[in-house]
Amino acid sequence: MLDGLIIGFQTAMSMQNIMFVIFGCFVGTFIGMLPGLGPITAIALMIPITYGIDPSSGMILMAGVYYGAIFGGSTSSILINAPGVAGTVATSFDGYPMACKGQAGKALAIAAYASFSGGTIAAVFLLVAAPMLSKVSLSFQSPDYFALLLLGLTAVAAFSNKGSFLKSIMMTLFGLMLSTIGTDQASGVERFTFGQIDLLDGISFLLIAMSMFALSEALLSIISNNRDKKLGIASVTTEVGSLKLTRAEIKEMAPTVARSSVLGFFVGVLPGAGATIASFLAYGMERNLASAKEKLKFGKGSLRGLAAPETANNAACSGSFVPLLTLGIPGSGTTAVMLGALMSYGIEPGPRLFVDNPEVFWSVIVSMYIGNVVLLFINLPLIPYIAKALTLPKQLLTVLILFFSLIGVYLVSFNAFDIFMMAGFAVIAIGLRLLNFSMSPLILGFILGGMLEQNLRRSLTLSDGSISFLWDRPITLGILTVTALVLLMPIISTLRQALSSTSQEKEADI
């Protein structure tokens, strides 16, 4: 581990990579701050830039953007009560009331310190957990991978969109279906190309990520901006005030930060759970632990109420890297986009990453520390200036985001057909979002589709066409049992709900 850390520090601490982390944190903060645009959009916009640099630097840049976007989301949650990211919704519960009381600076400082602590503690966990898990997963074979991919896809659908499990499954399947477009790698047969030469290579992951996230989010932000203007909400406060915290305040928040870091990390490791669930769980936990008197402060500007979700969401971000780096299975939409980027660099994610590309593996871990330091010591003092971004004319920003998304994809393929496809997918994404479908399962299905097919094909070939590979190895059987449980739980709870309300109705009728 020590050797790995040295490799990581050597790579991440080069002048070029430090600049990438700083740049990433700034860009991430800026984009994350814009309501409606999240870390996935921020990362997707960076991907075309990262194609020109080496994979380690690319991942370092994207990790910086990820952290920055989460921090940017907290800033808009606190200043204008409009979370840029779902993971920072809980931050606005107590952050915005503090800003209303003229304590925006203090709230932002707490958010930054809590994020720093959560991120750092979780990065230490990641440092220990990732190599251990990598070593275990080195013994995995195709059937285990197939089972693991199924678990990843199912768990994301089960956890990512509570209450609409079937919708998430539909989106996963839609992503899987899209992944079959193009020439079949094994047989060379064309599938769903409809005679279009432009579709022979399939649809690029970047195109899907940009149109489903960046374009659709930017276009839908027009509607929400106009609605906000109409309703007169979200008046922008760029007067931040003092960033100082007293010793008593730090003492009050320390146990909260410790608890929320642990909770956030472990929730982040679970596929599909991620920063949003972690932040809400931490907020709920802190509220339950508070005394009756303190409980009354929650929702009105409680320091603990602000520190808990902020710590947990950053810890969860680090946690979500565990399945990505060790198993090659992304735990969230954001890490799915990063996985796609890794694959486009020609790097095979999974347990071999630790062995074959140690510089990528370790530099990502080390860059998380650096990212946290940058956020705390460089971004925080500059927040009053970065916050001015919230007053920039939205009409200019939206069109510029559209331009950068379109040109980002075009510069990779140099094919104008991709721009038409992006417009088409943006329309589909807008429709799906309006029907309350989540995009994360779709991108996950799309990225993992190829791997799923490849591993199933290999497993069936190795077992002479028999499906006995599903139970031959204890690891495969174990993972599939967990998958079945994950799949059955929401179905049973939905059916139980449906049955109980039907019986209640019958009783009411009687």
Residue 219 in contact with another protein, rule: CB under 8 A = yes
Q: How far is the CB of 460 from another protein (least distance, A)?
A: 5
Q: How far is the CB of 170 from another protein (least distance, A)?
A: 5
Residue 460 in contact with another protein, rule: CB under 8 A = yes
> What does the DSSP 8-state code read for residue 387?
G
Q: Is 18 exposed, middle or buried (0-12, 13-18, 19+ CB in 10 A)?
A: middle
Residue from 101, 135, 162, 227 in contact with another protein (CB under 8 A): 227
CA geometry: angle 129, 133, 134, nearest 5 deg: 115
CA 35 to chain centre: 16
d(CA 27, CA 73): 12
**Contacting range for another protein; rule: CB under 8 A; set: 3-11, 128-136, 362-370, 387-395:** 387-395
Task: Give the other-Cβ count within 10 Å of 89's Cβ.
Answer: 17
Residue of 46, 24, 405 whose CA lies nearest to 221: 405
Backbone angles phi, psi at 19, to 5 degrees: -60, -40
Q: How far is the CB of 408 from another protein (least distance, A)?
A: 11
Residue 427 in contact with another protein, rule: CB under 8 A = yes
Site string for another protein, 137-166 (x = CB under 8 A): ---------------------------x-x
Helix (H) or strand (E) holding 144: helix 142-160
Asked whether 214 and 44 are in contact (CB, 8 A), the reply is yes
Backbone angles phi, psi at 407, to 5 degrees: -70, -30
Residue 426 in contact with another protein, rule: CB under 8 A = yes
Residue 195 in contact with another protein, rule: CB under 8 A = no
Residue 470 in contact with another protein, rule: CB under 8 A = no
Residue 433 in contact with another protein, rule: CB under 8 A = no
Q: How far is the CB of 187 from another protein (least distance, A)?
A: 5
Amino acid, res. 310 = E
As a three-state string, the secondary structure of 382-425 is HHHHHHHHHHCCHHHHHHHHHHHHHHHHHHHHCCHHHHHHHHHH
Which residue number, 184 or 348, has a Cβ lying nearer to another protein?
A: 184
Site for another protein in 21-50 (CB under 8 A): none
Residues in a beta bridge with 190: 183
Residue 51 in contact with another protein, rule: CB under 8 A = no
Asked whether 416 and 410 are in contact (CB, 8 A), the reply is yes
Residue 16 in contact with another protein, rule: CB under 8 A = no
Which residue number, 139 or 461, has a Cβ lying nearer to another protein?
A: 461
Give the binding site for another protein (CB under 8 A). Answer: 52, 164, 166-167, 169-170, 173-174, 176-177, 180, 184, 186-187, 189-192, 215, 219-220, 222-223, 226-227, 230, 393-396, 398-400, 402-403, 406-407, 410-411, 414, 416-420, 422-423, 426-427, 430, 432, 434-437, 449, 452-453, 456-457, 460-461, 465, 494, 498, 501-502, 505
